[in-house]
């Protein structure tokens, strides 16, 4: 039931926008009562935070998968981070990240969750991804994601591919 509620809340956030998300809409979409939803999440904020944490978990799994395919230690986390965000970028406004990430800019708790997640990853990969060029590549990937999100039709696929390629090259320089 919890998984269903998280999935439906993410879908409602994409379809209606996070500001329009209501507990009743999520409950209806998941075919449960509002009381049933409140049994799992005590408030709308708790539900939003749980969806955000769930998405961070999925991001972790994708980054770990991408890292396992990369044979070069130096910059491995950064390349996986860039690739994961370019996948999210291709999804555009259809991605649950769209509504939640924009809210991260204004919601102190979501911003804290993101900061803690990122700090943990950077500490974990400090030996291989501590170079300033890697930080630049990650910040650029974040900016490209945001630019793509605010563009009415998104950035052209060939432009995204070229930018991804350039960021990968940045992580392979000595």
Residue 85 counted as domain residue: yes
Domain that holds residue 91: 49-170
**165 in a structural domain:** yes
What pLDDT digit, counting tens, does each position of 50-64 carry?
Answer: 998 998 898 899 999
Q: How many CA atoms lie within 13 A of 33 on its CB side?
A: 3
User: Residue 16's pLDDT is what?
Assistant: 79
Kindly state whether residue 56 falls inside one of the protein's structural domains.
yes
For residues 14-29, average pLDDT:
86
For residue 42, being part of any structural domain is answered with: no
For the stretch 61-74, pLDDT in tens is: 999 999 999 999 99
Query: Do 18 and 110 touch, CB atoms closer than 8 A?
Result: no
In a domain, 30, yes or no: no
Residue 66 is assigned to a structural domain of this protein: yes
Distance (Å, rounded) from C-alpha 74 to C-alpha 58?
23
Mean confidence (pLDDT) of the chain: 88
The answer to whether 26 touches 47, Cβ cutoff 8 Å, is yes
Tell me which of 12-21, 48-57, 90-99 is least confident. Answer: 90-99
Structural domain contains residue 99: yes
Cα-only R_g, the chain: 17
Determine, yes or no, domain membership for 95. Answer: yes
Nearest to 57 by CA among 126, 134, 3: 3
Q: Token pair 């392979």 is at which residue?
A: 172
Q: What pLDDT was estimated at residue 144?
A: 87
Instruction: Give the count of domains, the chain.
Output: 1
């Amino acid at each position: 039931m919890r998984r269903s509620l998280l999935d439906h809340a993410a879908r409602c956030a994409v379809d209606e926008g996070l500001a329009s998300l209501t507990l009743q809409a999520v409950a209806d979409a998941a075919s449960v009562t509002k009381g049933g939803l409140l049994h799992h999440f005590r408030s709308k904020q708790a539900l939003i935070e749980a969806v955000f944490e769930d998405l961070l978990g999925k991001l972790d799994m994708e980054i770990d998968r991408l890292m396992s395919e990369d044979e070069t230690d130096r910059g491995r986390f950064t390349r996986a981070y860039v690739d994961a965000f370019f996948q999210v970028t291709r999804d555009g406004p259809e991605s649950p990240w769209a509504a939640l990430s924009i809210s991260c800019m204004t919601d102190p708790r979501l911003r804290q969750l993101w900061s803690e997640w990122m700090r943990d990853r950077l500490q974990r990969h400090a030996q291989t991804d501590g170079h300033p060029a890697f930080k630049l590549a990650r910040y650029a990937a974040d900016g490209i994601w945001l630019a793509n999100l605010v563009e009415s039709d998104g950035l052209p696929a060939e432009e995204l591919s070229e930018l991804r390629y350039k960021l990968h090259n940045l992580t392979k320089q000595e």
